[in-house]
Amino acid sequence: MSHLIVISGPTASGKTSLSLQIAKQFQAEIISADARQFYRGMNIGTAKVSLEEQNEVKHHFIDHLDPDENYSAGQFEDEALAFLDAYFKKNNVAVLVGGSGLYVNAVVHGFDDLPRTKTSTREKWNSIFESHGLEHLQQKLEEVDPDYHQQVDLQNRMRVQRALECVDDTGSKYSELRIGRLKSRSFQVHRLAILPPREELYLRINNRVDEMMDRGLEKEVESLEKWKNCNALQTVGYKEIFDHLADTMTRDEAISKIKQHTRNYAKRQYTWFRKQADYEVFESNSLEPILRHLNQRLNV
């Protein structure tokens, strides 16, 4: 039997460190399901695994795309499953890491094909965004699909708007449309969620943002200037620094906003994972209890 170990949890919960330890224990390779880590050049702001860590354990789908390339969860599902099909012919265990239910579920459950947005619907929501701004779209999403509102990066306007367009066109919640009919997989899935105490998590987030700034996040954002309007860069950590570089907010304000937006996103992730019955929840990324759990599940 082939086994896929899924390591999830809010941002800054310790997924990367744990995934490296688990992969070494089971002589496994790692698949990144972090959508922002797919993109080249977005290293500091996404807390991407270092080259040294990638040399320790082989990673897949890191630096997979340029920032201006669009890449859907459906495409990731197809490519990740093709990789796993070949990988499991020679190996028994793989590790999938990601904080977003969207890309993890693409591999674990699969998606039905979502309908294309009608041109008139897209124009309607473009107009609403231009008139009322992103916060209005966020509020509308919370009203019509609170479950997806908890999962999505609310600073990613295109994802928020896409969900609203789907609700308009189909009358169904985007969160329900994405799951559809669950697809069977040829491998066994073991899902873990790391959920530290909230105050500890928020402190980690604040400290990590400070570390990102010390490591040169501003210079990284400057190097990505030509892609600033691409969807991948209209996200937390990049959008705020672009605003700072455009003199629409001070450096300190940008740092404060990054921390606030990241904490807000982590809070929604935290709430969502707490509702998922198919995840085994751990408060710490400490290896020993998690390894005991996996050894029992994998019968090793």
Whether residue 75 is found in the same domain as residue 199: yes
Segment (H or E) for 108:
helix 101-108
Which of the listed residues 135, 161, 179 is the one where a domain comes to its end?
179
What's the pTM? Answer: 0.82
Whether residue 189 is found in the same domain as residue 244: yes
Cα distance between residue 296 and residue 196, in whole Å = 23
Whether residue 147 is found in the same domain as residue 94: no
How far CA 283 is from CA of 25, 43, 190, 240, 296, in Å, comes to 21, 27, 17, 30, 19
Whether residue 20 is found in the same domain as residue 62: yes
Q: Residue 144 is encoded by which pair of tokens?
A: 């019509």
Whether residue 274 is found in the same domain as residue 195: yes
Whether residue 36 is found in the same domain as residue 52: yes
Contact 257, 249 (CB under 8 A): yes
What is the residue range of 148's domain?
119-179
Whether residue 48 is found in the same domain as residue 86: yes
Whether residue 192 is found in the same domain as residue 172: no
- Residue among 111, 100, 101 at smallest CA distance from 78: 111
Whether residue 7 is found in the same domain as residue 95: yes
Whether residue 143 is found in the same domain as residue 202: no
- Specify the CATH number for the domain of residue 168: 1.10.20.140
Whether residue 283 is found in the same domain as residue 245: yes
Per-residue pLDDT tens listing for the chain (300 residues):
899 999 999 999 999 999 999 999 999 999 999 999 999 999 999 999 999 999 999 999 999 999 999 888 889 999 999 999 999 999 999 999 998 778 998 999 887 666 778 889 999 999 999 999 999 999 999 999 998 888 787 888 888 998 999 899 889 888 877 665 567 899 999 999 999 999 999 999 999 999 999 999 999 999 999 999 998 999 999 999 999 999 999 999 999 999 999 999 999 999 888 888 889 999 999 999 999 999 999 986
- Within a 10 A sphere around the Cβ of 268, how many other Cβ atoms? 18
Whether residue 85 is found in the same domain as residue 129: no
**Rg of the Cα atoms in the chain:** 19
Question: How many domains are there within the chain?
Answer: 2
